[in-house]
């Protein structure tokens, strides 16, 4: 009995530390009024993708919503339920955007209606999940047949070659390649679009590809925007971006 009690206590303490960590991290890095450029780009891509497939009046779930900086945009497409492990930032988000159904908790444990959402959006969350296949199955379970999944996650090929990412033992870090991501989704989803966003990285082969000298030369030949897009299409963006439909 004592061992069971101790194990339960350890789990609860770990969960408490996770909540504190994500409250602190989101407060520091994801305040709506001070988003970094990669986050703004992800937001634009999500909004444009939902517009492109004609989403209107949809029931939307955002997993890993943080401060609600994206949730506030998603409500233009329909009623939004937004969940995150954090507590304090969710409380603040509820005050800032009361029309959104913000909930604090683990998406695996929260009581969410099965097969009821038209759209699930999850940004930069997959890499922090220990069982990624289970996570994808949970998303599929919550979506209606024919519902859309919009997902972004860190690109392992690029993040392995960035050289500026600080290790942190407090949270899970399981980056994936585009190939692995597609394999994870294949059983339940048909992929409509898959690309990468925001080229980065200056280690290994990327030290050459993203060198200032080569970049300047190519920009003169084809223009900055085209070069950036070609790199993204080649999978050299730091973010993997994907929109899929549930089979």
With bands split at pLDDT 50, 70 and 90, how would you rate the model's confidence at 140? Answer: very high
Per-residue pLDDT, averaged over 17-23, amounts to: 91
Under CATH, which number does the domain 2-154+162-196+237-246 receive? 3.40.50.150
Question: For residues 167 and 232, which has the higher predicted lDDT (pLDDT)?
Answer: 232
What is the chain's mean pLDDT, rounded? 94
Proportion of the chain above pLDDT 70, given as a percent: 95
Of residues 133, 244, 134, the one with CA closest to residue 194:
244
Residue 171 pLDDT grade (very low, low, confident, very high; cuts 50, 70, 90): confident
**pLDDT grade for 7, boundaries at 50, 70 and 90:** very low
Residue pLDDT, tens place only, 51-60: 999 999 999 9
- The pLDDT assigned to 168 comes to 74
More confident residue, 219 or 18: 219
The CA distances from residue 83 to 63, 79, 226, in Å, are 5, 14, 37
Alpha helices in the chain (DSSP H): 2-29, 37-52, 71-74, 88-96, 132-142, 156-159, 178-185, 206-209, 212-222, 224-233
């Amino acid at each position: 009995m004592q061992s069971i009690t101790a194990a339960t206590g350890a789990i609860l303490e770990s969960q408490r530390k996770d909540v504190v960590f994500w409250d602190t991290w989101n407060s520091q890095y994801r305040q709506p009024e001070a988003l970094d450029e990669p986050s703004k780009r992800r937001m634009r891509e999500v909004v444009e993708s939902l517009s492109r497939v004609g989403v209107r009046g949809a029931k939307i779930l955002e997993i890993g919503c943080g401060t609600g900086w994206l949730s506030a945009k998603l409500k233009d497409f329909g009623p939004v339920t937004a969940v995150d492990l954090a507590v304090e930032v969710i409380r603040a988000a509820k005050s800032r955007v009361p029309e959104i159904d913000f909930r604090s908790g683990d998406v695996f444990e929260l009581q969410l209606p099965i097969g009821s959402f038209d759209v699930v959006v999850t940004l930069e969350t997959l890499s922090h999940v220990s069982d990624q296949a289970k996570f994808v199955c949970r998303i599929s379970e919550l979506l209606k047949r024919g519902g859309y999944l919009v997902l972004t996650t860190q690109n392992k090929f690029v993040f392995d070659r960035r050289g500026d990412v600080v290790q942190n033992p407090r949270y899970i870090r399981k980056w994936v390649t585009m190939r692995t991501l597609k394999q994870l989704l294949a059983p339940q989803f048909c992929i409509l679009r898959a690309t990468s966003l925001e080229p980065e990285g200056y280690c290994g082969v990327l030290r050459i590809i993203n060198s200032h000298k080569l970049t300047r030369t190519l920009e003169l030949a084809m223009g900055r925007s085209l070069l950036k897009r070609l790199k993204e299409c080649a999978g050299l963006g730091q973010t993997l971006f994907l929109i899929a439909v549930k089979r």
